[in-house]
Structure 1
Amino acid sequence: MLQLREEYFVPKTTINSISTYIVTLLHHLQSLFEQQIIHNDFNATGNNSSSKPTSGSTKTYIDINTTKNMINEVCFAVEAVTRNEYQFQQFCEEHFFYHPPKEIILSNPGETKQVAYHVPIDDTIKSILHNDHVIEQILNNIKQQQEKVFIDEDLMFSFRHGHFGNRIDDDSLLIQLYMDDIGLTNPIGCRKERHKMCMVYFSLEDIPNEHRSQLEHIHLVGICNSAILKGSCKY
C-alpha cells in the first residue's frame, strides 16, 4: 500500500478504498474456508455414522492442498478481471450495469475515418434508477416542490411548474441537456496535437439542487470532434 501511494502517487482516498476491498476479500476467503471445513465435517460424519464419536471429533481442519487450491482459484478470479481490456469491460457490464458507448461512423467509405460516440440516455437512466436512494431523492424533491408551489403559485422551481410544464405527466422525468467543448492533448509520440472535442451531457432536473452539480449526477451522452459540428468539415 505504501508503494502504491508513494511510487505511483495514488490518492489517500483511493488507498483507503483499496484497503477496504482487500479486507473484504480476506473475509470472503475466510468464509470459503469455513464452508469447506463444514463440508469436510459433514462427509466425515457420514462416513463414520456407525462409529462412536471420540474426544477429538470436535476439532475442525482443512487439508493443505485444498487450501492452496482455494487460494489459487481466488487469485485467478482477481487477476482475470484486469487481464485485458475486453475481459475488464465484460465484468463491468455483468456486475456494474456498464454500457459501452456506441460508435457512429461519420465519414464516407474511402475517406479518413471520422467517428463520434453516443451513450443512450435510456440505458443511463435505467442504471441510475437501480439505486433506491436516488429514486427516493427524486420523489421527495418533486413532492416538496409541488407543495411549495401549491402554497405560492408565483414560485417556479422547474419547467413542470410553468404554463406548458403543467401538461407533463407526473410520472415523467425532466432531462436537462447541455454541451461543452474541451481540449485534449496527446503528450506521447510525434503528433503532440491538441484536439478540441464537443461533449454532450445530461442531468436529471428532478435531482435536488444541492446534488445536481455533483459529478456523479452529470452523465455523458455523446462526444465528437468540435470541427464536425461547427461546419469546418463537410459531414
Structure 2
Amino acid sequence: MFTCPVCQILVLRASEFQTHLKFVHNYGHSNFPQLICPFSSCNITLGTWSGFLRHVKSHDKFLEIGSQIPNLFFEPTLNSSNFSEAQQEINIDFEDPKTFENISVDTGIKIVSEILGNFCSSIIASGVNNSVMDVIVKEMEYVFVEIINLVTKLGKQTLGEQFDMVAIQIRSLVSGFVKVKSSYQRQNLYQSRNNLILPTEISLGSRIDSKIKDAKRQQVVVEDTFMYVPLLKTLEKIIQIPQLYQYFESISKPNGQIFKFCDSESFKNNKLFSKYPQSIQLQLFYDDFETVNPLGSKKGIHKLGALYFILRNLPDYINSQLSQIHLLALFYSEDAKKYGYGSILKHVLPDIKILETTGISIGGNIFRGTVCSVVHDNLGGNSLLGLTESFNSNFFCRICYISKAEIQNEFDHNYMAIRNLTNYSLHLNSETFGVKIKFASILPFSRFSNS
C-alpha cells in the first residue's frame, strides 16, 4: 500500500501507483523529481523514474506474500512483536457494547477480518467458487480504500492537521483484508475460528500407473482414495444454527394426512423413530456426474460419484435451498466399481451407528438419528443394488424381475414378481435375472429404514 507524496491519496498496488503518478501527476522519465519511497517506513530517496518503479514493485512483491504486513498499519508504535499478538485469533462478540469501548487499532483490524470472513463464508456457501471470491475481495478492497481516501479528505477539510493521526489509524484497517485475499488464507481463517469441516481422505487401495519422468516412462504406485466429510461434525454445525435448532426440538403431530416422512407408517414402525420422535432423519442421495466433456475421449475416466444428505426434520422450503444439500462422500465412479460400494460405505456406517446408539450432544440435549431413505436415479439405484446397469437387458427392473417380452403384455404390477431378499439370493447364485454382484453395500440402509 502506497501513499502518494503529492496528493496523499492511498493506493493499493505498485501498478496502480504507477498509473496514478503517470496520468494524474504527469510524471515520467523526463520530469521525474527526487522522491522518497511512498511505502511506509521506507525512507530511500530515488532520483530516476525507472529506478523508482523498480523499487516500488519490490515492495509490491513483499505485499503479495505478506512479508511486509507490519508496515501496512502506518502505526509508529506497532512493531513486529505486538503484530504477532494482533494476528492471534480472538472470538469477537459484535453484540457486546464493550467490544467497541476503548477500541485499539489491533482490535479494529481483527474486527474487519471477522466481518470479511463472515461475508466470504456466506458468499461461498451460496455457491460462489473461490476464483470468483478472489475477484470480489479484490474489488471490495479497492472500494474500501477509495472510501478511506474520501473520509480522509473530508476529515482534513473539517479538522485540518488534527485529523492526521486518525487518518493513519483508519488506513491501517485495510490490513484486515490480508486474511481473506486468497482461498488458502480464507481456509486458514475458517479453521482458526473452528467453522470449517475439512474432508478426510481415505485410501481404498492402490494401483500401478505409468508416469513420465526425465523423459522416461516409469511404473509408480498410486493410491486410490475418496473424500469423506465427517457426518457427526456436520450435523453438529447444522443443528447449532439458531434458526434451525427449533426444528429438532419438537415434532409436528400427525393429523391422519401424510405431508412428510414423520407422518408415514414407516416412521411409526421404526424402532428408533418410534422411541425418539425428535431423532434426526437423514435422507441420503447418490448420483454420478461427469466432470469433463461427456462426448470426449476422457469420458468415464474422471466421472465422480457423490453421496449427499438432507435432513427431513426441516420444512420443505428450507430443504429446497442448495445450501441445505450437504456432501457426505466424493469418489471416482471407477473406484466404486473396482472396490465395491461397501468399501466406501463402511467408513460412513460407524458414524451412523454412533448417531443411532449414543447420539450427539448439542445445547445440553442428546440428538439421535438414522437414515430414513436413500434416493437415487435409475442408473444409481441399479448400481447400488448390484443389478445390471443396462436398461436394454432382459431383466432391467430393480423392483421386479419381469422380462422385456412379458412387459409388452403385462401392465398391472400386482401380477409382476417383486424382488425380495429371498429371490435376490437365488438370483445371485444363478447369475440370472439381472443380478451382477451382492448388494452388501445397501443392506445396512435397509435395516435402518425398516427396523
Same fold (TM over 0.5): yes
Instruction: Report the 3-state secondary structure (helix = DSSP H, G, I; strand = E; otherwise coil) of the residue aligned with 2:307.
Output: strand
Matched, 1:112 2:222: yes
Distance in structure 1 (CA, Å) of the matches to 2:331 and 2:319: 25
Take 2:163 and 2:279, find their aligned partners in 1: how far apart are those partners? 59
User: What's the counterpart of residue 268 of structure 2?
Assistant: 162
C-alpha RMSD of matched pairs (Å):
4.0
* Aligned match of 2:175: 76
Among 231, 237, 250, the residue aligned to 1:127:
237
Distance 2:229 2:339 in 1: 25
Distance between the aligned counterparts of 2:297 and 2:193, measured in 1?
Answer: 37
Cα distance in 1, alignment partners of residues 290 and 242 from structure 2: 36
Structure 1 CA distance, aligned partners of 2:249 and 2:167?
50
Query: 2:298 — aligned with what?
Result: 193
Q: Which letter maps to 1:115?
A: T
Say which SS state the counterpart of residue 184 (structure 1) adopts: coil
Matches within 5 A, 1:5-154: 63-71=163-171, 73-83=172-182, 85-95=183-193, 97-108=195-206, 111-139=221-249, 142=251, 144=252, 147=253, 149=254, 151-152=255-256
Q: Is the 8 A contact 1:101 1:118 kept in 2?
A: yes
Contact 1:156 1:162 in 2 (8 A): no
Aligned letter for 1:157? Answer: K
Give the drift of 1:156.
7.1
**Does the alignment pair 1:173 with 2:280?**
yes
SS of the residue corresponding to residue 207 of structure 1 reads coil
Deviation at 1:79, TM superposition (A): 2.6
Q: What is the TM-score with the length of structure 1 in the denominator?
A: 0.59
Q: CA deviation at 1:213?
A: 2.9
The aligned counterpart of 1:182 is 289
Q: Give the Å deviation of 1:135.
A: 1.7
Instruction: Describe the SS at the equivalent of 1:111.
Output: strand
1:174-233 deviations in Å (ceiling 9; x for gaps):
1111211011128xxxx9834110001011111112322321111000101001112389
The answer to whether the Cα contact below 8 Å between 1:185 and 1:192 also exists between their aligned partners in 2 is no
- Between the aligned partners of 1:177 and 1:155, the Cα distance in structure 2 is 20
Give structure 2 stretches of 5+ with no counterpart. 1-127, 152-158, 208-219, 344-451
- Alignment of structure 1 residues 199-218 onto 2, 5 Å: 199-218=306-325
- Matching residue's letter, 2:224: Q
Structure 2 CA distance for aligned equivalents of residues 175 and 61 of structure 1: 63
Distance 1:192 1:77 in 2: 46
Change (3 A) 1:218 1:123: same
AA at the equivalent of 1:111: V
Cα deviation digits, residues 21-47 of structure 1 (max 9, x gap): 96xx97xx99xx9xxxxxxxxxxxxxx
Larger C-alpha radius of gyration, 1 or 2? 2
Code of the residue aligned with 2:276 in structure 1: it is D
Which amino acid in 2 is paired with 1:177?
Answer: L
Q: Could you say what secondary structure the match of 1:112 adopts?
A: strand
Separation (CA, whole Å) in 2 of partners of 1:211 and 1:156: 15
Q: Matched residues in 2 for 1:119 and 1:158: separation? A: 25
Shift of 1:91: 1.0
Shift of 1:108: 3.5
TM-score, with length taken from structure 2: 0.33
